[in-house]
A and B are shown apart, each in its own frame.
Chain A
Amino acid sequence: MEEAGGVKLFGFWVSPFAQRVKWALKLKGIQYEYIEEDKYNKSPLLLKLNPVYGKVPVLVHNGKPISESIIILEYIDEVWKQAPLLPQDPYERAQAHFWAKFAEEKVRQSVVEAMCSSGDEKQKAVKLAVEAFEEFEKELKRRGTKFFGGETIGFVDIVAGCISYQLPVHEEVGSLKILDSSKFPAISEWTRNFLNHPLINEGLPQKDQMFAYYSKRSKEIAYQKMSHKTSIVIREFTDVSCGISLFLPQHPYERANSRFWVRFAAEKVTCLHDVFDDY
């Protein structure tokens, strides 16, 4: 293992974002010191190293911190040239960036949304997740290679890779079935190949521990969403039950308009990032 000038990784055991960075460092044979952070009790040092977001992962190289997993991956690839993660050709690089972003925003996030929601919202989220999987399946088939990166693991594989070992847990916690191997043969095979790699499989969190964590986490997220909506419903209820309109206008048309606005804001405008940008 190459001795690199002071590489530290601040992570959290179940964080898929930190896992991406671990994989990149291992694939390049970079020695690093790992520091475990408690998501519910973050150290002052972490908050100092990542003042903007206060999150893991943070890579510290020669005393300088870099945050956001995808940005860290790019940094690692630029500093350590062995086992390149991104292609050389600018157009192929742009495609890799596109699919990495897609894997994070459309694939991973939609699965988490489906896991944490219920009723109509859950149905909608599952539909979005399946559509994202369909696009991912199409692209894998189009490339026709073992991995997105070709015959070796690359940038997109690492970003998308958390799905390989976390999806079964999310499906179980959320009572979902998204990855049907008959419907998604290319993704299923990619998952098998990815997890078969010894450096990828090494040190992954235990399934039962992940199940316990995500069971709790999905309730937390559902509660946050509910309290946000409840505060809106409580205001309306207070209005109606008090017989006076403190918040809603008197005129029926204006009341309906107001209600539309409230629901629009709650359902369409609230960015998923507010709730799901955490692990």
Chain B
Amino acid sequence: MDGEVILLDAYASMFGMRLRIALAEKGVKYEYREENLPKKSPFLFQMNPIHKKVPVLIHNGKPICESLIALQYIDEVWHDKNPLLPSDPYKRAQARLWADFVDQKVHILGRKIWSAKGEEQEAAKKEFIEALKVLEGELGEKPYFGGEEFGYVDVALIPFYSWFHAYETCGNFKIGTQCPKFVAWAKRCMQRESVSKSLADPEKVYDFVLILKKHFGVE
């Protein structure tokens, strides 16, 4: 019925969390396989030879790489249950735009917060908060980015909430006090079982960041 579904992932990967949430929302049974990052397995190289990154969704032996691409794939294949993208083309375009904003801004700036120092880090912290405020503006008074229903942008964004503790510790700043609306939205999402079961523990994320810093020779 669903076919064979394997998710090649890493516990702390915010991109992997997106797919865990989507598969849970759709009630899809799958096999979870953990990559021991930063070491990468031959299987990962085989499934994603070009980028060599997780997550990789493998459906009936065929790999789909890049989390937002796999997210859309999941939504199309299991379209009957809990659709994530709206049906109206204009609203779909807006959802894709905001998911792309998460990748361009939240992810890139977040990475600079834990890996940079001095001026670079300060600039990244400031721009990160600005990006969250832009997202707060887009959310407005809606319960979710998807409107009344939890949707594509919510799935794309909520995993980064599990990285806030790592960003705050590395950056020596507080995010929640500056973006209370964002935190309120995040807590609302966390009430969904698909989210609470899929998001990594923030302490474990921070431990992972320390491993990454050591691996890349970053203090």
Contacts and interface: CB of A to CB of B under 8 A. Distances in A.
B140 to A, nearest CB: 14
A268 B92 CA distance: 34
Q: Which label, helix, strand, loop or mixed, suits the secondary structure of the A interface? A: helix
B115 to A, nearest CB: 6
Contacts, number: 84
Interface residues of A, number: 33
Given A52-B134, A260-B217, A75 B90 contact: yes
B79 to A, nearest CB: 9
Contacts of A268: 115
A75 B92 contact: yes
Contacts of A273: 104, 108
B50 A269 contact: no
A40 interface: no
A226 interface: no
Contact of B96 (A71, A101, A271): A71
Contacts of B133: none
Given A261-B219, A264-B218, A269 B89 contact: no
Given A93-B73, A94-B73, A97-B72, A64 B90 contact: yes
A79 B91 CA distance: 12
Interface in A5-36: none
Given A71-B100, A102-B50, A66 B90 contact: yes
Contacts of A68: 96-97, 100
Given A94-B69, A94-B73, A101-B66, A52 B97 contact: yes
Nearest to B77: A90
Contacts of B112: 265, 269
Interface in B160-219: 216-219
A67 B96 CA distance: 10
Contact of B108 (A61, A71, A75, A271): A271
B72 A94 contact: yes
A78 interface: yes
Interface string A93-122: 110011001100000000000000000000
B65 A269 contact: no
A115 B72 CA distance: 34
A74 B50 contact: no
Contacts of B96: 68, 71, 74
Nearest to B65: A98
A266 B116 CA distance: 9
Nearest to B111: A269
A91 B108 contact: no
Contacts of B50: 102, 135
A98 B76 CA distance: 16
A152 interface: no
B27 to A, nearest CB: 18
Nearest 8 pairs of A and B residues by beta carbon: A265-B120, A78-B89, A90-B76, A75-B93, A94-B73, A97-B69, A265-B116, A66-B93
Given A66-B93, A94-B72, 6 more contacts: A52-B134, A66-B94, A75-B92, A94-B64, A261-B116, A265-B118
Interface of A: 52, 61, 64, 66-68, 71-72, 74-75, 78-79, 90-91, 93-94, 97-98, 101-102, 135, 257, 260-262, 264-266, 268-271, 273
27 contacts: A61-B90, A64-B90, A66-B93, A67-B97, A68-B100, A74-B93, A74-B96, A75-B89, A75-B93, A78-B89, A91-B59, A91-B62, A91-B64, A93-B76, A94-B73, A98-B64, A135-B50, A257-B219, A260-B217, A261-B116, A261-B117, A264-B116, A265-B112, A265-B115, A265-B116, A273-B104, A273-B108
Interface of B: 50, 59, 62, 64-66, 69-70, 72-73, 76-77, 89-90, 92-94, 96-97, 100-101, 104, 108, 111-112, 115-118, 120, 134, 216-219
